[in-house]
Each structure stands twice: as C-alpha cells, then as structure tokens.
Chains A and B, each alone.
Chain A
Amino acid sequence: MIEKTVAEITAALNAGDISSVELTQAYLDRIIRFNDDLNAFITVCTDSALSQAKKADEKRAKGDTSPLLGIPLAHKDIFCTNGVTTSCGSRMLQNFVAPYDATIVEKLYQAGVVMLGKTNMDEFAMGSSNETSYFGPAKNPWDTARVPGGSSGGSAVAVAADLCAVATGTDTGGSIRQPAAFCGITGFKPSYGRVSRWGMIAFASSLDQAGSLSKTAEDAALMTNVMAGLDRKDSTSIDKPVEDYTASLSNSLDGLKIGIPKQHFAEGLSSEVEQAIREALVEYENLGAIIKEIDLPNNHLSVSVYYVIAPAEASANLSRYDGVRYGYRCEDPADLEDMYKRTRSEGFGEEVKRRIMVGTYALSAGFYDAYYRKAQKIRRLIKNDFVDAFKEVDVIIGPTSPHTAFEIGSKTDPVTMYLEDIYTIAVNLAGLPGISIPVGTAEGLPVGMHIVGNDFAEAKVLNVAHLFQQQTDWHRFKPTAFEKES
C-alpha cells in the first residue's frame, strides 16, 4: 500500500482494506529502515503520528470520508509546527519549537492528515541540491551518490522512496519542481498568493509559495484543494474562490494550445532530457493538442534578476535572527554588536551568509537603483513575456531542469548552482503556477517536464499533467534500491 497514490490509499481506507494506524506504522518502519541512507527526515514524530492515525480511524468509523483523512504526510521543515522543532535546515533554528502551526499545517490537520515528521531542506531554502542543509544532504533514492535537488529535497526523497504518501514543500525559484524532477515525482507550485505563507519561514517574500510533492497530479489536486484559499493572516493571500481542482482533471485536451519556448530548448540542455520532453509532446499531440513554438525573449535574464531580488528580500527577512528573541545565540558575547555578529556568523551557513551580503549590497546606499530597482524593471519585462505568450497558448511546456540529478559535491561554485534553476525561476518572478512531472529517464535517472499555466490557472495545469499520467506510467517508475520488499 505504501507505494500507492493518495487517491488509491483513500479508496483502500474507505473500503476498510487497511487502517490509517497500519499505514502510518508501515511508513514509520520504512523511515527507520531507510532514513540513515537517505537523510530525508530531520525530525520523525512516531508517537504523535500514531495517535493522529488512531483519531483518523475513529473519525472514519463514524462515517467521515474526507479526502485526506488518515493520510500520512511529511512537512518540509520550513513550516511552523506547534510543539515540533522547525529548524529550516539551519543551526540558527536547530532548537526552535514554534508555539503555533502554519496555516497550511493547520488546514491539513483539519482535513485529518497524519504528520510523520519534518523533512530535510537547503538552509532557509537557499539551494538547489539540499547540500546547504546544516543536517547534511538528503540523498537521491535513484542513486544515493547524487543530490535529490533542492531546496525541498527531503520532501522529494520521502515521496520517491515511499517514506510518506505525500509531502509539502516551498518554491521560491524552483524548490518544489526541480527536486520533483530529480527524484521522478510530481511537484506542484500554485500561483503566488494562492496558498497562505503564514507560519512558513520567509526567504524571499515576493517569490515564496507553498505547494506539494506527490506521486501524481491527481494527488497534487487533492492537496491544493485543502491548502489553497484566503488567509487574513497573510496580506498577500488572494481573495479568490478555491476551485475543486479534481473536478477538471480529466477534461479533454483536444485543441489545447501548448507553447514551447525556444529558449528552453537551446544550448545547455542535455540531449537525452530534450528527447524525453519531445517524446512527451508527441503524447500531447495524440491527445489533440497543438504545439507551437513561442518566444520568451527576456527569460535568460531571470537568473540575474532573481539573484538581486531574492537575496535583497532575504537580507531583510533574515535580519530577525539576532540572538535576542529566539534561535541560536553565541557563547559569552563581549557586547551587543559582538553578540549579533557572532550569533549570525555561527548560526548561518556559507550560502545563507553569501546571499545576505549580496542582498545587503544591492540595497545599500548608492546601489539601490542600479541593482534592486533595475531588477524590478526587468522582472516586469519577464512577466510581460508570459502575458504575451498566454495570449496565444494555454500552457507552456519545457524541461524542468537542463539535466538529471548531479553528484553530491560536484558543483562547488555558487554561480554554477544558481544556473540550475534557469527554466523555473521566471515562473516565480511572474507568480505563475507550475508543475514538474516525470516523463522518462536518462541513464537511469528521472527526467522532469515543466508545465506552466497563466495566473491562477491551477486547474488547467493539473488537468494537462493528469491526462499525461493517464496515458503513460512514468509516474509509477520507482528507484529499485528502495522498492517495497528491498
């Protein structure tokens, strides 16, 4: 049962084939067995998970058949969870126990989920490989010498290796979609503003968005149904009715116009990844879709723009870690300034410090116009490219990442790592919904395909992803080392 989708597990729970307690125990057993190898979880909540599962079984016995009732899931360790440590992958918050739940944590609890634990991640979500985590990198279950992607690496590993049924993640520049691609699962980032950011530790506030890592687009729809919606506690949460995202999953794609950005099939893309994507596009043509090349002329600037805006916002957001109100404090500070400086230098890792400094530089007197304002102007140009494209097409499809998962330790230069997100970053700058689904393998490693929709076209994106998964079985491919009986 552990390898099944949320939709399939729910059917089995409703039929009485398995209980949530049995299921939860099965996942906990696998976590004990494989987490040393995979490092997917930072915290495991054995006792509370089993008691939540018991409650879910009792509710079901009374006739409750809510879609996520009794489903064992994992939260990225960036979401505040009342009474359970929220480290954000950092020494700074290693012992931080929030006294409240993030809005999405609360909503998922209300839906009846079981929380198995908190997953590994790049420190403060800054990274594309999970290697910046204070707790060491999570490992890709397809090849444990390789990275799972990041920053939601632990969540992607946990889903891919069947250590949970589904997981939450956050995506600031590709942090759900790229690890989903590297681990051969489905990763969905809704539009900016669709899901509340309250209780989600802030990295870059105009880009951060919560979403899900799951086995299928159908499961992503089930998660979005619960996670989405207006939250008065988040001033950027949008006041727009939440659709039933499962309702339109099977809508026909006959006549669907798919845009293929020529910039996403250019230099730098691995030929095997390109081939897998091109083969997936043939499936769409068979379903009646029309493929059309489009131009996103400013796409190549997205990495530069992002590495001004994200560090600038991060430098402001992370100024709160000062050793006074919560988190790490250095030993024996000589004075207040020494306390601030040593607390932050000892509490943050290299990449986080680098980004804080780049952001501080970009916002400092005399540089604001040349960097931050300039980046915001080009952000407009990048958004306008999408506005123009969506006048002609319904969705945009391309590769999620230029290549498959790389080896741990192989990218030591930050700029090379930043270019990992070349296809995903523009989507965050524009605030659009995007999903990565597995569409093949290259040398035994999964290839992810990126589907992007217009503002708040979550239902369309999920529909396009779901119908591919109805036609193919790439989403059922498993890393053999962590298969059911191994």
Chain B
Amino acid sequence: MALDKSELEKIAHLARLHITKAESEEVMLRITDILALIDEMQSINTNDVAPLAHPLDLLQRLRTDEITERDYRDELQSLAPEAQEGLYLVPKVIE
C-alpha cells in the first residue's frame, strides 16, 4: 500500500512529529517500502488463529495496595526542562 501526502500528514500529526516539505518525499517513499514488506502478511489465512499478544500466557499479577516507594518528586522534577514550585511548565495553553 502506498502512502499519500495527506495520510503522511495525518500520521505525523498523530505521532506529534513535524515533517518538513523537503523531507516528506523521502519519508513517504521509505514508509511505503516498509508497508510493502509488512503486506507479505496479508496472503496468510489466519481465520481460526487466536492472536498472541505476548510470549508468556500470564495473567497480570496483583499486589496489596500499600506504599512501597518513598516520594521522589523533587529528584524526578529536577530532570524537567522547566519546572517551578512543584509544577511542570509548558507554553501558555489558556489565554
């Protein structure tokens, strides 16, 4: 399946990526190649096959609801590009 320009723009937006006009031809071509590789799957009949999401057929483990970690807020927030008084700062969202 070949990807067209509007589909590429839609995917890039969903992925929150910015593709410049100069890049878009090349990106489209490469992704179309990858989709062609993937399309090999479509020839296989999988009507009665149960999907395998994960190599281990495991159920999610439960644990008792208790605090096991201390508060790391200050250490973690110190990694942020911009933080102030315990808050993460981003460009203005509300006028």
B34 contacts across to A, CB distance below 8 A: 307, 354, 358, 414-415, 418
Q: Which of A6-14, A68-76, A330-338 participates in binding chain B?
A: A330-338
A378 and B41 form a contact (CB under 8 A): yes
Given contacts A324-B81, A361-B3, 19 further A-B contacts (CB under 8 A): A99-B78, A100-B72, A191-B55, A304-B39, A326-B81, A336-B90, A337-B16, A339-B90, A357-B8, A357-B17, A358-B35, A358-B38, A360-B11, A364-B11, A375-B41, A377-B46, A377-B50, A378-B44, A415-B36
In the complex, the chain B residue whose C-beta lies closest to that of A238 is B56
B91 touches A334 (CB 8 A): yes
A300 to B55, CA, bound (A): 19
Residues of B within 8 A of A357 (CB): 8, 11-12, 15, 17, 27, 31
Q: Which residues of A contact B8 (CB under 8 A)?
A: 357
Q: Collect the chain A residues with CB atoms within 8 Å of residue B58's CB.
A: 193, 236, 238
Q: Closest approach, in angstroms, between the C-beta of A30 and any C-beta of chain B? A: 33
Interface residues on A, range: 35 or more
Which B residues lie within 8 Å of A239 (CB)? 61
The answer to whether B55 and A193 touch across the interface, beta carbons within 8 angstroms, is: yes
Please name the residue on chain A nearest to B68 by beta carbon: A232
The A-contacting residues of B in range 7-25, CB under 8 angstroms, are 7-8, 10-12, 14-19
Q: Tell me the interface secondary structure of chain B in the complex.
A: loop
Q: Which DSSP category, helix, strand, loop or mixed, fits chain A's interface? A: helix
For A427-446 the 0/1 string (1 means CB < 8 A from B) is 00111100000000000000
A356 interface residue, CB < 8 Å from B?
A: yes
Residues of chain A having any CB pair with chain B under 8 Å: 96-97, 99-100, 191-193, 206, 232, 235-236, 238-239, 298, 300-301, 303-305, 307-308, 315, 319, 322-329, 333-342, 344-345, 348, 353-354, 356-358, 360-362, 364, 370-371, 373-381, 383, 413-415, 418, 429-432
